[in-house]
Amino acid sequence: MSGRPAAAPAAESSGSLVPSEAVERRILAIRSCRVLLDADLAELYGVPTKRLNQQVNRNRDRFPEDFLFQLTQEEKEQVVANCDHLRNLKFSPTLPWAFTEHGAIMAANLLKSPRAVRVSIQVVRAFVRLREMLISHRDLARKLEELESKYDTQFSTVFDAIRALMAPPPTAASRQRIGFRGSSDE
């Protein structure tokens, strides 16, 4: 056994508790907002979801609609269907809360734990990174349109191919089923 300490995990050695990719993967787009669900935020902050929601309910005046909103039953079902890590929500009788960037910061302030404060910084950075990626995507689309207007139709297939690469991935509902189809399936 050597006298050197064991190497810290990558997240710990960089001074953060949670890898930034783990935070970014949990951010969802619901009602045209980027949000973290209460179960994910509670896990990131190291508290039970019940405790997080209790603190929010005790301090509802700190959470206007642009900080926090509750999912509808349909939204909950869609989130459960599309996010494997949230499958336990399927059995929850309550509807989850969705925290925007500002709501996530406010929740960290209510919890007052050192972990919540440190992780909230990562949460903010993840929201900022996603916003920057969205802006650069818009800039790229605008530049592509400018280029397309300058060149004649011989480059139209190139521009169409680039647009196809920039398009978001298809949703589960728009994908074709794979496999054998009997006459009753059509």
Q: Two tokens at 145? A: 């349109």
pLDDT (tens digit, 9 = 90+) per residue, 160-172? Answer: 777 777 776 665 5
Task: Give the distance between the most distant pair of CA atoms in the chain.
Answer: 70
- The answer to whether 52 and 111 are in contact (CB under 8 A) is yes
Q: Two tokens at 125? A: 């950075």
pLDDT (tens digit, 9 = 90+) per residue, 1-27? Answer: 434 333 333 443 345 577 777 788 888
Q: Which of 54-58, 118-122, 129-133 has the highest mean pLDDT?
A: 54-58
One-letter identity of residue 12: E
What's residue 4's pLDDT? 36
Four-residue CA torsion sign, 44, 109, 55, 100: negative
Tell whether the model's pLDDT for residue 31 goes beyond 80.
yes
DSSP state of 96: P
DSSP state of 162: H
Rounded Cα–Cα distance for residues 110 and 121 (Å): 15
**Helix (H) or strand (E) segment spanning residue 28:** strand 28-30
Rounded Cα–Cα distance for residues 140 and 123 (Å): 26
Please give the model's pTM, rounded to 2 decimal places. Answer: 0.61
